[in-house]
Amino acid sequence: MKKALMWLLMLWKRLLLKKGFILLLVMIPLSALLINLSASSEHGFITIAVATDSSDELSGAVADELCNDKKAFRFLRCDTEEDAIRLVESLKADAAWVIEPRLAESITVAAPAGKLKIATVYQREENVLLRMAREKLYSAVYPDISYSLYRSYVTEELLPNQKISEEELKEYYSQYSDKESIIDIVYPDGSAYNEKSDYITSPLRGLFVIMLMLCGLASSAYFLSEEKRGVYSLVTSGKRTLIMAAGNLCALITAGMFVTLALVMSGLYTDFWRESLNMILLIITSTLFCTCLGRIIGSVNGLCLTVPIILVTAIVFCPVFVNLNTAKPIQILLPPYHYLNAVYDGSVLWNSVIYSLSATAVCIILGCIRKRNAR
């Protein structure tokens, strides 16, 4: 036991003396910090220039509401229609919305007659995102449209002969105004939806685990390089695979701590127990994956050439930027795939356990083959 601990300590210490490894570890939380800081500034998947009539209070309020809602869309206020169109023509905005002048008046008169015009939209070409963005504008104006429909119906159809004051109408309407949303959003395991999710920070979890896997692959490469230099010449062939795995484990535990820190810094950290269990399984599966790969390839040069392929494969087939439902045999070989799928669905964790058992068997077989070849 003491010997094993000594080995672990030495393997850990030698990793911490490698500048490249330290650089990679430091980059994980640093990139979380930088991306998080930049994500706090204005951004949006599409940019919309909004031009309003300065004398109209309602259109100003609508524009303010849109500009304060920082999620998928970014809104820029413009003073004039020409300024907004110029932004579209110069590719600085994807669309320009010129809100109708005297919008409040227009809603009051035209909405009940079904002839409402909210805005003139200038865009380069129609696409699904711009359609969805218009839903947002409609949603911002809808409370006034709704009130106008109600008011018009009550005064003109329901009680045409009664003189109802505006205050009375508003009093009836405001009684039911403070209702909560009728839709709750949750994840498959019942946990609350992360309302702070942002398309800029969302892929960070995937990128961090890929960097974690890179730490494991680097550790395998360091081991192979040391083995070639004869550092482990006093160790029997059979035990060298075990030492490689131990070295990878040390590297991945260290990387795992940095990734956890980065997740906390980027606001992606969810629940302590779920994250801890998921991370432990990721460390185990990545250790076994990197050890198997290192043993199969067998040389530093070969492993270094394979790493870019592994990384590209992981970025493409794991749900880092997109969730491709294809090439399942490749996906299930990659530890990040199981980890990322288990983040919000705990039932998938069993896949990591099965993976660990299978990869352990492969490592043992590779170790035995190596031992036999060495005799």
Angle at 95 between CA 93 and CA 99, to 5 degrees: 120
The stretch among 2-10, 59-67, 187-195, 272-280 that binds another protein (CB under 8 A) is 187-195
Residue of 319, 335, 346, 367 that binds another protein (CB under 8 A) = 319
How do beta strands 95-99 and 119-123 pair?
A: antiparallel
Q: How many CB atoms lie within 10 A of CB 369?
A: 13
State the maximum Cα–Cα separation within the chain, in Å, rounded to a whole number.
Answer: 106
**What is the smallest separation between the CB atom of 4 and another protein, expressed in angstroms?**
26
The stretch among 4-12, 50-58, 150-158, 253-261 that binds another protein (CB under 8 A) is 150-158
353 binds another protein (CB under 8 A): no
17 binds another protein (CB under 8 A): no
Structure tokens at 43: 């951004």
Q: What residues from 57 to 86 belong to the interface with another protein (CB under 8 A)?
A: 71-72, 85
Q: What residues from 126 to 145 belong to the interface with another protein (CB under 8 A)?
A: 126-129, 131-132, 134-139, 142-143, 145
Residue of 8, 10, 39, 253 that binds another protein (CB under 8 A) = 39
114 binds another protein (CB under 8 A): yes
Q: 164 or 361: whose CB is closer to another protein?
A: 164
Residue of 165, 181, 233, 373 that binds another protein (CB under 8 A) = 181
Q: Rounded CA gap, 75 and 133, in Å?
A: 10
Contact 30, 213 (CB under 8 A): no
Residue of 54, 79, 172, 361 that binds another protein (CB under 8 A) = 172
**What is the smallest separation between the CB atom of 1 and another protein, expressed in angstroms?**
31
Radius of gyration of the chain (CA): 30
**What is the smallest separation between the CB atom of 368 and another protein, expressed in angstroms?**
28
19 binds another protein (CB under 8 A): yes
290 binds another protein (CB under 8 A): no
φ and ψ at residue 44, rounded to 5 degrees: -165, 150
Structure tokens at 229: 């230099």
Q: Rounded CA gap, 362 and 157, in Å?
A: 79
Q: 38 or 236: whose CB is closer to another protein?
A: 38
Residue of 55, 68, 162, 165 that binds another protein (CB under 8 A) = 162
Contact 231, 222 (CB under 8 A): no
Q: Rounded CA gap, 246 and 28, in Å?
A: 22
Site string for another protein, 297-316 (x = CB under 8 A): ---xx--xx-xxx-xxx--x
341 binds another protein (CB under 8 A): yes
Displacement of CA 316 from its chain's centroid (Å): 15
Count residues binding another protein (CB under 8 A): 123
- Three-state DSSP class for residue 261: helix
Q: Rounded CA gap, 241 and 245, in Å?
A: 6
CA distances from 140 to 52, 67, 196 (A): 14, 11, 21
Q: 72 or 366: whose CB is closer to another protein?
A: 72
15 binds another protein (CB under 8 A): no
* H/E element, 189: none
Q: What residues from 194 to 233 belong to the interface with another protein (CB under 8 A)?
A: 197-203, 205-207, 211, 214, 218, 221-222, 225
**What is the smallest separation between the CB atom of 132 and another protein, expressed in angstroms?**
5
164 binds another protein (CB under 8 A): yes
Angle at 74 between CA 69 and CA 80, to 5 degrees: 105
Q: Rounded CA gap, 243 and 287, in Å?
A: 12
Q: 268 or 367: whose CB is closer to another protein?
A: 268
147 binds another protein (CB under 8 A): yes
Q: Rounded CA gap, 86 and 63, in Å?
A: 19
The stretch among 49-57, 193-201, 254-262, 275-283 that binds another protein (CB under 8 A) is 193-201
How do beta strands 95-99 and 46-51 pair?
A: parallel
**What is the smallest separation between the CB atom of 367 and another protein, expressed in angstroms?**
23
276 binds another protein (CB under 8 A): no
